[in-house]
Structure 1
């Protein structure tokens, strides 16, 4: 029998679906630090980053029987961290807007008056709509960066364009999203 440390992510996922606790432990030890760094960087809060990582691993264990891993745990966890962070930032924003409205006595908040009543799905739908309005190449570059986590160099090679062009597309996408969505765009970027 081979050591768990030599198994690929796909092999570990197969074992995890069979309730293999040592496989889960291997995944946990392999990825915990990476996930923590990603979450901490985006949340700027040690305790909350630890909670995000623990929630992700708890969900992985709970949903192990339905796990369909396509590209490896790196992609799976990158998406999980992104969405967990977005949820927490949206919750922070709702709480902050409500507190701000209570403190000032105003019931209408300019620029996103109903932000505190919007749930994550509504925010994400607005974000996706704005992304879909980007020019085609700009949208493709943005998806490769945000959804697939590719570096500018990898995107450049894959699309056969210069790194400067990739950088320009990303800057254009961020500017348009900030213009269209205001502060909400920072939750997704």
Structure 2
């Protein structure tokens, strides 16, 4: 061990005794060692929860990796409120639901496109318009606030009732209703009279 490594060793070791809030502040400042400590501290817990929900090893690894990649990517604007255990519990739930919803939407879209394919043969422009609308709607929904997006997907893509969503996310039904109202308003503002068509395109 060289002299520099020898002097840095106690400093590196000290990360293991830091609280979540301290690690979050250091990570926000770009400290990779703090991020690595968060990763080591919580990776296994996330993996167990995600694996329980998906049952698939490969997808579980992808989910956990994506969560940590997203955390590092948004580190400069990241604010920890209730500790990483709470943050990751919500993050893994959101990621699993998001993937399930995406798969369901893709499967439904394939069925819808297959039904429209005869029309597409007659009018390619109609099919292109359909694809463009679907793409724009997906982008509009994707940029909803995180909790609003999660509530929207649970309601319109997973078929949860408002009561089930409230229980799943541990929030009041009034809060669920407010998130759904905000999502619908965003779509109406963005697409106007096409909002009704949007419902059939994205199946909500």
Same fold (TM over 0.5): yes
Select the residue among 13, 21, 37 that pairs with 2:32.
Answer: 21
What are the equivalent positions in structure 2 for 1:39-118 lying under 5 Å apart? 39-99=50-110
Give deviations 1:119-161, integer Å, cap 9, x for gaps. Answer: 5667833739942xx4xxx997x2xx6348xxxxxxxxxxxxx
* Max Rg structure: 2
For residue 154 of structure 1, what is the aligned residue in structure 2?
none
Select the residue among 145, 148, 169 that pairs with 1:146.
Answer: 169
Select the residue among 155, 170, 179 that pairs with 1:127.
Answer: 155
Question: Could you tell me how far 1:100 is from its partner in structure 2?
Answer: 5.2
Checking the alignment, whether the CA contact within 8 Å between 2:28 and 2:77 is kept in structure 1 is: yes
Give deviations 1:34-90, integer Å, cap 9, x for gaps. Answer: 111111111121111111111111111111111110110011111111111111001
User: Residues 97 and 63 (structure 1 numbering): CA distance in 2 closer, same or farther, change over 3 Å?
Assistant: same
CA RMSD of aligned residues (A): 3.2
Q: Report the count of equivalent residues.
A: 130
**The residue matched to 2:39 in structure 1 has which SS?**
helix
Checking the alignment, whether the CA contact within 8 Å between 2:151 and 2:165 is kept in structure 1 is: no
**The residue matched to 1:3 in structure 2 has which SS?**
helix
Distance 2:61 2:112 in 1: 30
Question: Could you tell me how far 1:27 is from its partner in structure 2?
Answer: 0.3
Checking the alignment, whether the CA contact within 8 Å between 1:17 and 1:65 is kept in structure 2 is: yes
TM-score normalised by length of structure 2: 0.53
Distance 1:123 1:21 in 2: 29
Distance 1:90 1:130 in 2: 15
Checking the alignment, whether the CA contact within 8 Å between 2:98 and 2:150 is kept in structure 1 is: no
Q: Report runs of 4+ in structure 1 exceeding 6 Å deviation.
A: 120-123
TM-score normalised by length of structure 1: 0.57
Question: Could you tell me how far 1:99 is from its partner in structure 2?
Answer: 4.6
Q: Which has more helix, going by share of residues? A: 2
User: Residues 12 and 96 (structure 1 numbering): CA distance in 2 closer, same or farther, change over 3 Å?
Assistant: same
User: Residues 139 and 106 (structure 1 numbering): CA distance in 2 closer, same or farther, change over 3 Å?
Assistant: closer
